[in-house]
Amino acid sequence: MTKAVADDRRRSLPSVDAVLREAGTLDPVARRRLAAAVRDVLTAKRAGGTAIGAADVAREARDLLADRDRPTMRPVLNATGVILHTNLGRAPLSERAIAAMREAAGAVSVEYDLAAGRRGERHGHAARVLAEVTGAEDSVVVNNNAAAVLLALAALAARREVVVARGELVEIGGGFRIPEVLARSGAKLVEVGTTNRTYLRDYAAAVGDRTAAILRVHSSNFRVVGFTASAASRDLASLARERGIAFVHDLGSGTLLETTPYGLGAEETVQEAVTAGADVVTFSGDKLLGGPQAGIAVGRRESVAKLRSHPLMRALRPDKIAIAGLVATLAAYRDGTAERELPVWRMIAASPAGLARRARALAAALAGAGIACEVVETRSTVGGGSLPEETQASRAVGLEGHATRLAQRLRQADPPVIGHVAQERLALDLRSVLPEDDERLARTVIAALSR
């Protein structure tokens, strides 16, 4: 194309006013937004030397606005086989938690004492049920577990030393490292032991006049196996009491239920950590607990009181919506209904036989729509830094065809479907899909792939 022809085409482009006239009557806000989109379309056309009429510019501008207005955070169907998928929001919430969070959206007594008729404090809402389900004397809630660890160290060990096993200096998701969190708290790190073996005597030798606490950290998303050794939590708690220092136990994900009945490895429960004698036990609300994002610190009354009164508490405190969802989630443990009520535990408890039946039904529905597929055996994971390297037998529907192209088409579906590639096929693992979503999953896949 010659420069003269390109210039002629640019000059033939309609004006913004001409396009807006073509668009018809609009309210002031819609007119202003459309005008901005029209300018963007015309700028692109001028750069490309493309001729286009006013009606086409108006259509492209509306399409551009629709694309900009489309929410970027959308509900998806998680068929990855990872139950607590960090990129997909971790724990799906129970109906009870969702209802409580919706109810808390209005004016609520989050910091108002209804009996006394004056200002109250927000930590009491979860404290009672946390005491009942964990056995701890007191508790506070913050916005995530990293914040709970930061607050505990800042309140109990600022400007003093904290003893940590070298093998527990982990990096968690997003590049956050325990040594950096510890440094931000104002405490000084003292490493003991080796990567794979740390004994009680290593801790005892490191405790001195400047020591404020012993910190135990969950390994999160990795596991050291083979020639290993670590001190028992009960022994660390006893050592801390003997030396007059605090024992802070970071459980990471944290669980209130035993994991071995589901074919998973043993995970120390919150109740066990409290009983072992830790001054403060921290864990997440949105992982194995199955609630909204939150960090929870439970433990001895005098230790937790220092966390509650620390200036950082103001910056780290949760909002009313998170508190409402957390209390509703904890109530399921109190009532003994967690395994039936909370999605994360329903998914963990799903049997391979039950998953196989569901997979066969899904495969039959897809095949009936002309989509080639078959049921395949897979291994699912809990995810979210919980139970590292532990998997469960699962079942998935493997789709025939180019895995990358199929995955892209399903990501563009409504709602998007996220699977995983297994044996060079796109697999839809039903471990991370609730049974009540099976029919919607089938409809969505058929609509996306049968075109």
CATH assignment of the domain containing 418? 3.90.1150.180
Q: Is the peptide bond before 415 cis (omega within 30 degrees of 0)?
A: yes
Residue 121 buriedness (CB in 10 A; 0-12 / 13-18 / 19+): middle
Amino acid letter for position 199: Y
Domain count, the chain: 3
Write down the pLDDT at residue 136.
98
Write down the pLDDT at residue 74.
95
CA distances in angstroms from 49 to 12, 56, 259, 295, listed in the order given: 10, 15, 64, 56
Please tell me whether residues 278 and 407 are part of one structural domain: no
CA angle 190, 194, 199 (to 5 degrees): 85
Q: Are 295 and 270 in contact (CB under 8 A)?
A: no
Write down the pLDDT at residue 26.
87
Domain that includes residue 441, residue range: 77-86+345-449
Please tell me whether residues 367 and 297 are part of one structural domain: no
Please tell me whether residues 226 and 207 are part of one structural domain: yes
pLDDT of the chain, 451 residues: tens digit per residue: 444 444 445 567 999 999 999 888 889 999 999 999 999 999 998 888 777 899 999 999 999 999 999 999 999 999 999 999 999 999 999 999 999 999 999 999 999 999 999 998 888 899 999 999 999 999 999 999 999 999 999 999 999 999 999 988 877 666 667 788 888 888 899 999 988 899 999 999 999 999 999 999 987 655 666 677 889 999 999 999 999 999 999 999 899 999 999 999 888 999 999 999 999 999 999 999 999 999 999 999 999 999 999 999 999 999 999 999 999 999 999 999 999 999 999 999 999 999 999 999 999 999 999 999 999 999 999 987 777 778 999 999 999 999 999 999 999 999 999 999 977 899 999 999 999 999 999 999 999 998 6
Per DSSP, the residues of 92-156 read PPPHHHHHHHHHTTSS--TTEETTTTEE--TTHHHHHHHHHHH--SEEEEESSHHHHHHHHHHHH
Query: Which residues, in sequence order, are CB contacts of 351 under 8 Å at separation 6+?
Result: none
Please identify, among 309, 341, 373, the residue that sits at the C-terminal boundary of a domain.
341
Q: Are 380 and 248 in contact (CB under 8 A)?
A: no
Please tell me whether residues 153 and 234 are part of one structural domain: yes
Please identify, among 297, 316, 341, the residue that sits at the C-terminal boundary of a domain.
341
CA distance 249 to 103: 34
CA dihedral 130, 132, 133, 136 (to 10 degrees): 60
Which pTM was predicted? 0.90
Please tell me whether residues 293 and 387 are part of one structural domain: no
Please tell me whether residues 61 and 143 are part of one structural domain: no
Please tell me whether residues 329 and 219 are part of one structural domain: yes
Sign of CA dihedral 45, 47, 48, 50: positive
Please tell me whether residues 195 and 221 are part of one structural domain: yes
Please tell me whether residues 19 and 102 are part of one structural domain: no
Write down the pLDDT at residue 248.
97
Please tell me whether residues 104 and 225 are part of one structural domain: yes
CA distance 212 to 443: 58
Please tell me whether residues 247 and 356 are part of one structural domain: no
Write down the pLDDT at residue 5.
43
Please tell me whether residues 138 and 191 are part of one structural domain: yes
CA distance 439 to 309: 50
Write down the pLDDT at residue 6.
46
Please identify, among 310, 341, 372, the residue that sits at the C-terminal boundary of a domain.
341
